[in-house]
Chains A and B, each alone.
Chain A
Amino acid sequence: MKFILFFFTLLKMSIKASIVKKSAFIIELLLMLSSNLTFIILWWILFKKFQTIGSWTLTDMLVLNAVGMGAYGLSQILFGGLKNLSKLILTANLDSFLTTPKNILFHIAGSKSFSKGFGNLMTTISLIILGDLYTKIPLILLSMITGCLVFVSGSIIAQSLAFWLGKIDSVAKKYSDSLYLFALYPTNIYSGVLQIVMFSLIPAGIIGYIPVELIKKFTFEMLFALLASSTALFSLACFIFHQGLKKYESGSTFTHKS
């Protein structure tokens, strides 16, 4: 209970700090919204031309984008601190987190929040209104939470590789960005080995495909698949991080937490 209270207090402060410059916040919000809507308009044009892409309709695509963008937005707002995880490892700046009796991963995650995430959440709201998806809100929300877990897990795994491989922050960033990009493609177009890749190495399928299929036709098996896969991936990410932490060497430097 104390830990949850600590995490939310930390988050509250991080969010406040991220939106302190009001004008910059509004510009960021509008930029994210327009960048997302550009993508969606493009899919709308394509669906108008081809009606279906691999059995998916425009509504399915709107659900995919609502879930994918919402999940990414949540991960930026709630777990923004993870963006710099590999840098913290490389510069031996984990020391200041290790000395506190709190869960280190959540402490790092909550130490920063990105206001651009609100732009993604606004896109989700716009898509729910535009696509008349009101009846699907509970499942969209649930899928956003599981999708957020997948994004966070992907980021933790990619950035934790710095424990073993050293300076690989640019690779980690490119991997995280690509996960977001591939999650917004209609996952049903992938087949064979590529489908396996999309559910393992680049788990875009867990973010997009399962939620869309679940929302299209609810089954408990699909719900279980969604919850189990995202939780398993998150557990794996935590395990990898803690294994890496054993290899961490302190930099013996005095630093302050940002």
Chain B
Amino acid sequence: MGKYIYLFKLHFIQTLKNKNSLLGLTIFLITCLIIFSNLWKIAAERMHAIDLNPDTLLWYIALNEWVLISLPDVQDDIEEDLKTGNLSYLLPRPISYLLSKFCESLGALSANLLVLGTVGFAFTAYMTGHIPNGFLSVIPLGLMSGILCLIFHLLIGVSVFWMEEVGPFYWLFEKLLFIFGGLMLPLAVYPKWIQTLAFLTPFPSILGQRSALAIEFELDSALQLIASFSFWAIIGITALFVLYRKGLKMLTINGG
């Protein structure tokens, strides 16, 4: 276990030390906040779809973007490891490849969440002049949704055993996350059947539902969200290990 904690620590520190990248991500986060808040304001005005005030809206978007922008591209690392043949050097190590990738990306995610959260929330608090009631409770849920996204990213990364590249799966996942997560436009804009469909996927709990909790916190909803995270995490991890093992078998037979 110690080696995995060490990997986590190493990548946490490495990410914190990369000040230029953190600065770039912070500027990107604030740009996205401004763009999406305007976009949603228009959606509210012209489509009469949501009745949130602009301040609440900015907090909702900040909490969504905070996790999305913090996510490292672990799927690209896996793709590169397989394509360059680096995987053949990493596999014989006395450490699980998949777990090491998870710990590395969790370290990077945690550092990004820490820095982007500090700056992004300070900016949002300054712009709106208030902090929502359920704010503190949403921080651990943010980390949980980040972890769930990492599991799905790893799953996308493992698809490289069969595919030439991970991009198409990643684009599909990202688009569904934007649509069903309620980032692209508020879920309330869509017809009822799309809203029902969305709640059958993990996407609303990763983004919209979680951020909405900060605005109006209810213990029941928070517990429901944790149950949803756990359910999707179990499904994701199971699929991940099954596919990884199948992929490794294929690699052993066909060569790296």
Contact = CB atoms under 8 A, between A and B. Distances in A.
Nearest to B27: A171
Interface string B21-42: 1001100100110110011001
Contact of B168 (A35, A173, A178): A35
In which size bucket is the chain B interface? 35 or more
B102 to A, nearest CB: 17
B190 A114 contact: no
B107 interface: no
B20 A174 contact: no
A28 B46 contact: no
Nearest to A182: B35
A50 B46 contact: yes
B193 to A, nearest CB: 10
A116 interface: yes
A190 B164 contact: no
A50 B47 contact: yes
A203 to B, nearest CB: 13
Interface stretch (A41-49, A145-153, A220-228, A244-252): A41-49
B69 A38 contact: no
B179 A42 contact: yes
Interface in A69-104: none
Contacts of B76: 173
B169 interface: yes
A168 B162 CA distance: 29
A173 B47 CA distance: 32
B126 interface: no
A38 B164 contact: no
A159 to B, nearest CB: 12
Contact of A31 (B28, B73, B172): B172
A217 B165 CA distance: 40
B172 A34 contact: yes
B18 interface: yes
A45 B168 contact: no
Contacts of B172: 31, 34-35, 38
B189 interface: yes
B132 interface: no
Interface in A44-77: 45-46, 49-50, 53-54
B28 A171 contact: yes
Q: Which of B28, B35, B165, B185 has the most CB of A within 10 A?
A: B35
A119 B168 contact: yes
Contact of A165 (B24, B169, B175): B24
Given A50-B46, A119-B168, A165-B20, A27 B35 contact: no
B171 interface: yes
Interface stretch (A131-139, A194-202, A205-213): A194-202
B35 A167 contact: no
Given A49-B47, A197-B34, 6 more contacts: A24-B162, A24-B163, A27-B163, A165-B24, A170-B25, A197-B31
Interface of A: 18, 21, 24-25, 27-28, 31-32, 34-35, 38-39, 42, 45-46, 49-50, 53-54, 114-116, 119, 161, 165-168, 170-171, 173-175, 177-178, 181-182, 185, 189-191, 194, 197, 201-202, 258
Interface of B: 18, 20-21, 24-25, 28, 31-32, 34-35, 38-39, 42, 46-47, 69, 72-73, 76, 84, 162-165, 167-169, 171-172, 174-176, 178-179, 184-185, 189-191, 194
23 contacts: A27-B163, A27-B168, A28-B165, A31-B169, A35-B171, A35-B175, A45-B190, A45-B191, A45-B194, A46-B185, A49-B47, A116-B165, A116-B167, A161-B24, A165-B21, A165-B24, A166-B18, A171-B25, A177-B174, A189-B46, A190-B35, A197-B31, A197-B35
